Amino acid sequence: MIEQLQWQLPLWSCVAFILWLSFDKNNFAQLLATPIRQVGVLACALVLAVLWRIKAGILPGLELHILGVSAVTLILGWRLAIFASVLASALLILVAQLPISLLPIHLLFTAFIPISLSYLCFVLCYTYLPKHFFIYIFFCAFLTAALIACIKILTSGMLYYVMGEYSLIEISQNYLILCAIIWFPEAMLNGMAITLLITYRPHWVKTFYDKDYLDS
């Protein structure tokens, strides 16, 4: 318990810093003035809460579940994706599925870091790869989601090892090995969600630019 308390301050500091970076007055003013966008944020938050609620694992604190944040990041952009992840986490707390003591770890390693990396992958793909419909789906959604799922497992396992909660053998044999299981369903879910949206409702996906991906 003492070791966990020692980690609370730096973890909460990281959470507060990322929330501060993500806050943009114009962005949130536009959100408040656009009811349809509010519905989109709330819908994404609800989907994330459901996905994060369905989990399984051997080691307490190191559970396996679908993240879904790569698709949400492409749909909302990174700032509103972080906001939606906070709403989803608050909902999990309200239904007693997430202890407040684990909230900073949950926000950082399930939401904030995966969202930031997902947006970074999008920016790199948009900058250096041909702007094509299938490249957007395959690289920005499918491959990025698979990569983010594995990174989440690796970073979470590393944190619990550094905190002294589990040995390296326990983490590698009971958690890291799950990368081989989770990458494909994560990639499929995010890839299918983005494919359906940009096919039938492309204007709902903030990072999908019709003039770039459909006119090329």
Residue 190 pLDDT greater than 90, yes or no? yes
CA 124 – CA 140 distance, rounded (Å): 9
The mean pLDDT of 108-132, rounded to a whole number, is: 95
pLDDT recorded at residue 28: 86
The residue among 201 and 59 whose pLDDT is bigger is: 201
pLDDT mean over 135-147: 95
Q: How much is the average pLDDT of 103-111? A: 94
- What's the confidence (pLDDT) of residue 41? 96
pLDDT, tens digit, for every residue of 27-45? 888 888 889 899 999 999 9
Whether pLDDT at 213 is above 80: no
Backbone angles phi, psi at 59, to 5 degrees: -95, 125
Residue 2, pLDDT above cutoff 80:
no
User: Residue 216 above 60 pLDDT?
Assistant: no
Alpha-carbon span 69 to 91, nearest angstrom:
16
Round to whole Å and give the CA distance between 157 and 13.
Answer: 20
Q: What angle do CA 172, 96, 112 make, to 5 degrees?
A: 55
Taking residue 84's Cβ as centre, other Cβ atoms within 10 Å add up to: 27
For 42-98, what is each residue's pLDDT tens digit? 999 999 999 999 888 777 878 889 999 999 999 999 999 999 999 999 999 999 889
Q: Alpha carbon of 18 to those of 1, 5, 88: distances in Å? A: 26, 21, 17
Domains and CATH numbers, the chain: 2-213 (1.10.1760.20)
pLDDT at 122: 96
Residues 139, 37: Cα–Cα separation, whole Å: 26
Contacts (Cβ under 8 Å, ≥6 apart) of 46: 88, 91
pLDDT for res 60 = 80
The two three-digit tokens of residue 121, written as one number: 């992958």
The reported pLDDT for the residue numbered 1 is 40
Q: Confidence band (pLDDT; 50, 70, 90) for 9?
A: confident
Q: What is the largest CA-CA distance in the chain?
A: 58
Angle at 121 between CA 30 and CA 15, to 5 degrees: 60
Per the prediction, the chain carries an average pLDDT of 91
DSSP 79-143: HHHHHHHHHHHHHHHHTTSS-GGGHHHHIIIIIIHHHHHHHHHHHHHHHHS---HHHIIIIIIII
Closest to 150 measured CA to CA, from 125, 129, 121? 121
> Between these two residues, 216 and 180, which has the higher pLDDT value?
180
Contact by Cβ (8 Å): 124, 116 = no
